[in-house]
Structure 1
Amino acid sequence: MAHTLAPLPYDYAALEPYIDAQTMQLHHDKHHAAYVNNLNAALEKYPDLMNKSIEELIINLEQIPSEIRTVVRNNAGGHFNHTLFWKSMSPNGSRTPTGAIAEAIEVTFGSFDNFKQQFNEAGMKQFGSGWVWLTFNRSGKLEIVTTPNQDSPLTTGLYPLLGNDVWEHAYYLKYQNRRKDYLDAWWNVVDWDEVNRRFETARQ
């Protein structure tokens, strides 16, 4: 069964003024769609792989035939990362975390402000295209990491709770080269209810 592109869970303009409608439309309908199409094309000759979930493909990359491994790594990663990205944002974002994830952030980073600063600094230091993540590691701790291109934290045994896309196509129409402004503005649309759901799943 082919992988599919789910519609955005909100309107293209729903995240304005922080993320503009044109960026959202191009990002979802063109960039994300291309990852899904490229992934399906790569898997066409391997029907047994079509039955694998996106997570299974990413976690077991070493089992993917070598001739399509890089394509699957890039495009399965792009599909997974963006699916999580859209769900992690909401026009009704709470701006500050609540519940279990808020407590864990406080314990790990000292305060939410410290966490945001470290997260944004990591996003700024990511050279070129990539992602910045809040993850849950094998020791049961929160950890900020970055990944290049469309690599997923799943490949290194980390469970992604929240990720921000720092590819230029995610922000360039509105923010041009001002990645810091984009990173700062993005916190206004984070859906902490979704992050809490992922945190609960990770802990289980």
Structure 2
Amino acid sequence: MAHTLPDLPYAYDALEPFYDEQTVRLHHDMHHKAYVDGLNNAESKLAEALEKGDFALIKHIERELSFHGSGHILHTMFWENMKPGGGGPADGAVAELIDRDFGSFDNFKKLFSASALAVEGSGWTILACNPIFEKLVVLQAEKHQDLTQWGAVPLLIVDVWEHAYYLKYQNKRAAWIEAWWNLINWDDVNRRVALMQQK
């Protein structure tokens, strides 16, 4: 089945003033959709290669699957990780895990923000649970798929590709990151923690 662009869980202007309507609209309707389309195209090419038994382009196809598939997954989660009236310190189960693994919410926020600011080129910063290490980790992902850890399950992510913030914040990535903290949907993060703890 073809992948489809999911609807936003709120109106385009619902994240104002921290995330402007024009950027949200372009980011969701054009950039995110491009990754959905790219993933569908890559899966179609893979199906064709399987049908013909011709794998001459498999390296290219696998790269496209990784790039566009990861882009679609991360963007979908990015929208769900935010909500109008969000932000503030973490609460619930994730707050307890943050205190355990980073010492305090303030430590975590400083680490996460520094990591997001330092992403080289385009990418993401991710709070993830790594069940192999039995702890939370803060990771960078260049592009959508590089520098991640096998087994780590994303819980909270911020998009630091310039298309995510350039219209409002220009090249001021630090200002975008600071604004993003006002949008975090901790209910969604705790829902993801609960799913991890069930496994």
- TM norm structure 1: 0.88
Deviation at 1:125, TM superposition (A): 0.9
Deviation at 1:46, TM superposition (A): 3.7
Alignment match, 2:97: 104
SS at match of 2:181: helix
Alignment match, 1:149: 143
**Structure 1: which 5+ runs fail to align?**
50-63
**Structure 2: which 5+ runs fail to align?**
50-56
* Matched pairs, number: 190
Deviation at 1:25, TM superposition (A): 0.3
Task: Output one character per residue of 1:39-87: Cα deviation in whole Å (capped at 9) or x when no partner.
Answer: 11121144499xxxxxxxxxxxxxx943401111110010000001000
Alignment match, 2:28: 28
- Is the CA contact (8 Å cut-off) linking 1:77 and 1:152 kept in structure 2? no
Q: Which has the larger radius of gyration?
A: 2
Distance in 2, Cα, partners of 1:153 & 1:100: 27
- TM norm structure 2: 0.90
Which of 180, 184, 191 is the equivalent residue of 1:190? 184
Deviation at 1:152, TM superposition (A): 7.0
**Runs (4+) off by over 3 Å:** 45-49, 152-155
> RMSD of aligned C-alpha atoms?
1.9
Alignment match, 1:5: 5
Letter in 1 for 2:42: A
Alignment match, 1:126: 119
Which of 125, 133, 154 is the equivalent residue of 1:160? 154
- Calculate percent identity across the aligned residue pairs: 47
- Is the CA contact (8 Å cut-off) linking 1:153 and 1:160 kept in structure 2? no
